[in-house]
Amino acid sequence: MALKTLPIIMFTLLCLICNWKSSDGNDDSVFLAWKCNDSKGNYTENSPYHINLLNAFSNLTSLSISQTFANLSTSTDENDNTNKVYALYDCRKDLTLTTCHHCVVDATDNILHRCPSLEAIVMYEECVVRYANRPIVSIMEQIPYFSDCKFSIPDGGELSRIIKPIFTNLIDEAISNNSRLKYSAAKNEDYFEYQKVYCLLQCTPDITQQECKDCLTEAMNKTIDCANSSGMISYYIVPSCRMRYDVIRHFFNVSSSLPPMAMSSPPPFSPISNAAVQLRMFAKNTAR
């Protein structure tokens, strides 16, 4: 690379660092995308499905105080499978549980305002929340997807050269039986003399090792496309996995001392009261 190009890149990276919002150490959740599956049909306010969904979200937000992943199914009538709700969330394991909890709270509120569908997903930088009227746990899914490639800056092909080896090794690490955090890995690598690139990948812990590898391999192919275009920031998120690289320092914690997050069994289902449902509906209508 010509020496005259390097100062331009470094100046641009400095601008990105000063202006781009990082989620690490910040309780403000960063919304990325949402998808309502209208083909599955819609629910109406105060219907049995809507009440089951509110119950599911109430329990999931409680669970997010103590664990980074949880799933459950809810139904106020055991004999009514038509209105049964299946829901889950998955938080990034490099962030604090406080950040996870705030993201799940934001995500559940957001999707309730955006989607009257029987199935939907909302994606944040910090977490993913899903629900459906069908089982979604332990099923590897790669649609819908969210991808973004930001700030393409000529770099002489440097990102393209280093990104594939980094993520190839991280995939092997994430699915290894010796991995500290199940299906999750992160690493930083030198990118020019005074700059690093920060890389992270993760699968939901409910799928198999092979499914995790397949999901991340497809994500890597999309991520390499961004690196080939010299994109400085790349997102790729699907229901079962995510992949991310960024040139902003301290985007996430890659410390080897990061403790594993305990995965506890979900507590007994706690239905919310009709009064709580009405209060939430009042807040929703007032916000419109």
What pLDDT is stored for residue 37 in this prediction? 92
Range of weakest confidence among 19-33, 39-53, 107-121, 246-260: 246-260
Q: Three-state SS for 144? A: coil
Same fold: 31-137 with 145-246: yes
Of all residues in the chain, what percent are helix, strand and coil, respectively (each to 5)? 35, 25, 40
- Asked if pLDDT for residue 159 goes beyond 90, the answer is no
Q: Which residues contact 65 (CB under 8 A, 6 or more apart)?
A: 97, 101
- Average confidence (pLDDT) over 158-183: 86
State the residue for tokens 């992943």: 69
What pLDDT is stored for residue 15 in this prediction? 52
Q: How confident is the model at residue 287 (pLDDT cuts 50, 70, 90)?
A: very low
Q: Which of 220, 260, 263, 224 is nearest to 238 (CA)?
A: 220
- The strands making up 231-238's β-sheet, listed across from edge to edge, are 146-152, 231-238, 241-246, 196-203, 184-190
Other Cβ atoms closer than 10 A to 62: 15
What architecture does CATH give domain 31-137? 2-Layer Sandwich (3.30)
What pLDDT is stored for residue 150 in this prediction? 86
What pLDDT is stored for residue 175 in this prediction? 93
User: Which listed CATH number (3.90.550.10, 2.60.120.10, 3.40.50.300, 3.30.430.20) goes with 145-246?
Assistant: 3.30.430.20
- Average confidence (pLDDT) over 256-279: 40
Q: How confident is the model at residue 218 (pLDDT cuts 50, 70, 90)?
A: very high
- Asked if pLDDT for residue 282 goes beyond 60, the answer is no
Q: Which of 61, 55, 57 is nearest to 101 (CA)?
A: 61
- Asked if pLDDT for residue 135 goes beyond 90, the answer is yes
Residue 59 in contact with residue 74, Cβ under 8 Å?
A: yes
No. of H helices and E strands in the chain?
6, 10
Dihedral angle sign, alpha carbons of residues 249, 246, 105, 241: negative
**Distance separating alpha carbons of residues 95 and 256, to the nearest angstrom:** 14
Q: Where are the domains of the chain?
A: 31-137, 145-246
What pLDDT is stored for residue 193 in this prediction? 65
- Average confidence (pLDDT) over 60-78: 92
